[in-house]
Amino acid sequence: MEYSKTIAKTRDYYNSDNMMNFHSFIYGENIHIGLYTHGHESIAEANLNALDMITSLLTLSPSTVILDLGSGYGGTARYLTQKFGCRVDCVNLSETQNELNRQLNKKLGLESLIQVIDGSFEAIPTTSNIYDIVWSQDALLYSSDRLKVFQEVSRVLKKKGEFILTDVMQSDNCPVEVSKPILATVDITSLASIKSYQKIAKDTGFEEIQIIAMPEQLTNQYQKTLSVMDQNYDELAKSCDQEFLEYQRVRLNKWVKTGKQGYLNWGILHFRKF
């Protein structure tokens, strides 16, 4: 598949052995932001808390057809099919992650409920008006054209279908001199803010159902990642290059610092197509 330079860079990043090994060691099958209530949760528990909270905002049944955009290893899809019996299509850029997703689904006998599609959320490779819900967790930060993503989501959703997403965002008042250096640590062209998502949603024919901002969970997750990394550095270094681990450490520390200054945001955004 032909991708733009930015998308191709993200794809290489997620396809790399370093990234796969890092994820498998630290996060497991869910690589999104978790929810911490007392701070002693493991990353895996916090990540499941996030899935529990998002699903508590939806009405799900075996007849619900969901599209997960930027689906990673498919942890969300397996959670949704196993807990609610939903059918889930996963669209994801990284072919390596997708292959693992398919293998894990096969192992659990879930292949008939979960379809894994190689592709980009900026050009969703499915037909129109077929989904009850479009779901996306912490993936749209990689988009350089979120308007296009919302237009695509609107196209594939049924009338009155819902779009629920979480994303790593900047605060509405984040100055460019603050966002620029942290974006330079990753191949991301810009971060959305809650305000920018509200505008895009309005412009593309969505009404707002609910927005729950929880910026503290972003710093919680990145701090937890740093501490698990530190506690297991020697073990991690057996499967990840030291240069890669150092890069992750610098990147995460910068994001934690900026988050603590109040310039980042994270939360759940829930919209309905008119």
Of 113 and 116, CB closest to ligand SAM: 116
Q: How many degrees, rounded to 5, is the angle at CA 240 between CA 229 and CA 227? A: 5
In the block, tokens 């996060």 appear at 27
Q: Which of 10, 105, 223, 258 binds ligand SAM (CB under 6 A)?
A: 10
Report in angstroms how near the CB of residue 111 gets to ligand SAM at its nearest: 19
Binding-site member from 55, 81, 105, 137 for ligand SAM (CB under 6 A): 137
Q: Which is nearer to ligand SAM, 7 or 169 (CB)?
A: 7
The secondary structure element, H or E, covering residue 88 is strand 87-92
Residue 204 Cα distances to 54, 96, 152, 209, angstroms: 23, 32, 10, 15
Q: How far is the CB of 175 from ligand SAM (least distance, A)?
A: 25
Nearer Cβ to ligand SAM, position 94 or 234? 94
> 231 is written with which tokens?
């506690």
- By C-beta, is 91 or 182 nearer to ligand SAM? 91
Of 55, 105, 120, 219, which lies in the binding site for ligand SAM, with binding defined by CB under 6 A?
120
Print the binding letters for residues 14-53 with ligand SAM: x by CB under 6 A, - otherwise.
x---------------xxx---------------------
Give the bridge partners for 134, in sequence order: 67, 163
**Cβ contact 229:245 at 8 Å:** yes
What's the CA gap between 103 and 250, in Å, rounded?
Answer: 33
Tell the smallest beta-carbon distance from residue 207 to ligand SAM (Å). 24
272: phi then psi, degrees, rounded to nearest 5? -125, 135
Number of residues that bind ligand SAM (CB under 6 A): 23
Considering only 137-145, 205-213, 244-252, 264-272, which stretch makes contact with ligand SAM by CB under 6 A? Answer: 137-145
The torsion of the CA quartet 204, 206, 212, 215, rounded to 10 degrees, works out to: -10
Q: What are phi and psi of 271, to 5 degrees?
A: -125, 160
Residue nearest to ligand SAM (CB): 72
Q: Establish if 204 lies at the interface with ligand SAM (CB under 6 A).
A: no
Question: 172 vs 140, 192, 193, 252, 262, CA distance in Å?
Answer: 17, 9, 6, 21, 10
Token reading at 7: 């998308």
Stretch 65-94 residues interacting with ligand SAM (CB under 6 A): 70-72, 75-76, 91-94
Interface residues with ligand SAM (CB under 6 A) are 7, 10, 14, 30-32, 70-72, 75-76, 91-94, 97, 120-122, 137-139, 142
